[in-house]
Amino acid sequence: MNHLQKKILHCLENGTQLAWLIDFVGKQVWVWQGDNLPIIFSEEETLPMWGELPGLTVNDVMAMTRR
């Protein structure tokens, strides 16, 4: 388990309900939600969001980070 994953687990243990880890090399987003194991999303898959925010795909996130 890498350093960022440990930080995410720490946050989840302390009340965080949704966390993303963006993998720029693999063009994937790892998503932790509640007590569940991470789910890996890619390409046109819609990422889980908090509240009423509009849905974003992994490709949307990758495009925003290239700006």
| SS3 per residue for 8-62 | HHHHHHCCCCEEEEEECCCCEEEEEECCCCCEEEECCCECCCCCCCCCCEHHHHH
Query: What does the pLDDT profile of the chain (67 residues) look like in tens digits?
Result: 689 889 998 999 999 999 999 999 999 999 999 888 999 999 999 999 988 878 899 999 999 988 6
User: Would you state the pLDDT for residue 67?
Assistant: 64
pLDDT given for residue 2 in this prediction: 86
